[in-house]
Structure 1
Amino acid sequence: EGAQRDKWQIAPNYQKGLEFEKHLASFCRPICADRGIWQVSMSEFTFIVDLNSRTCGCRKWNVAGIPCCHAVSAIQAFNHKPEEYVDDLFKKEAYLLAYAGQIIPVPDKTQWLQTPFPDVGPPRFNVQPGRPKKKRRKARGERHVPSRSSKRVAIRCSRCKGFGHNEGTKTKGSQEKRGRKPKTDATSSSQQQSQHVTPITAPQKGSKPRHDANSGSQQQPQMMSTSQPEVQLYSQPPPDPIPTNNWYGYGMLHQVDGGPTVDRIRASRERFLRKKK
């Protein structure tokens, strides 16, 4: 009796689905090809809708029984109502026929008949791993209702003071650390200048200087202290090379035409060692 007084003609849940298809139909473009046959384009896809057989190329209308968005656009272009093409199973008449017969009441379980067969218990339930789901499955087209936890403010990083990430999920770089400012252009340029270090060490006893034939540069030995070599570091680029007409290495070698040879270097070193003794 209550259902007969209601004004709806289609079940409320299916009426909501039809309204959602009407909204999507506004993005479709129907073109009439023949009587009851339409070509509907949506985005990059094209479907064929047959209103006579109530079918669509997407096969959604065939399975669900409710016109899809392509069919709704063709129905509206044909000046018909989409509710007329809904399957009779979802209409009010089918609902009233389902509950038209009488429902026999069931007596109390103490009055049930006893049978010689074992009682049928509930099926076995295996506990699945993980946290059980408690949220209701949302219907298609239902809007998401934000909860209290999702209404919180945006996440802000405590290092770079940026939004969208926190200190633990920061991936912009490892140079920004707690209590340390990022490198600037001035500090980086000063560090690059300090990296130009040219160590000068005294040759060991019995070692021979090298001569680079490709570059034409002549490397000459520099005698420091024979007991313990000293290391001199230049924070600036090395000075200009010594002119070729000067003595170098405490009078050990004098450059002349042709450059130093192995014999000349060895003889100069022996003379230097004799003077030291």
Structure 2
Amino acid sequence: MGSVNRTPQVVTIAGSDSGGGAGMQADLKTFQARHVFGMNIVVALTAQNTYGVQASLPIPTYFIDAQFQSLDADFAIKAAKTGMLADSEHVEAVVRNLQQVDFGPLIVDPVMVAKGGATLLEPEAVATIKSKLLPLADVVTPNLPEAEIIVGRPIKTNADTIAAAQTIQQFGVKNVIIKGGHRSEDDQAADYILLEDGSSFWLSAPRIATANTHGTGDTFSACIAAELAKGQPLKSAIVTAKAFLQGAISQGIFVGHGHGPTNHWAKLSDKVRMSETR
């Protein structure tokens, strides 16, 4: 019995993407690629492809409870991440369960809008995430549109990004990563990282002209969770996640007719650069 639960284990608490490019499917592929054992707690089902989301079906909260209880009874989960949480009722169910288990560091990917434009989070749930989920989070990873929704103001410049991260940190989350991929006028995709100790830095990589970016947010946050589960320091985990995502985009695959998925078996990119706050 001495070898029981020695393999690093990670859980994604998210929605299912029937098209396989985002949601818990992207998370599980990332976990596998980063050599951790992945498991999932399903919060919602979607009928989804690279064109967008055609239908969604939230899971009854009692069944979310059952999934948490089942995993907690058997596994030694070392990190967890959240993705699509649907609405306030389901956010509250996830929060309630997270308060009853120890699944290690929590990475919150505040999924709000799909690549095709479909809303994946009911508006009233934003307030629930801010007041109840973020205080439990070790890391939150909004993209620019999500960060704008959270702080309630536009983010146009680097100074705006820095101020937004500081605002988000005030909700109780320890570490904030605002992803800059949506700032299309820049030739570099630059992410701003504000750490718990007040230090900060930028991570940048060349912007790639491609429509195959479905599931990038899920993949990035899942990689951070995987690295933390293996015992990597947070800063190293973030850098690895950026390199993993850059590789997954730049070494593309071609699936579907719309916003295609990234390549989860790609090699880490060597194009990621770190710089001081600017």
TM-score normalised by length of structure 1: 0.17
- Bigger strand share: 2
Bigger proportion of residues as helix: 2
* Relative contact order, higher structure (CA 8 A, sep 6+): 2
> Max radius of gyration: which structure?
1
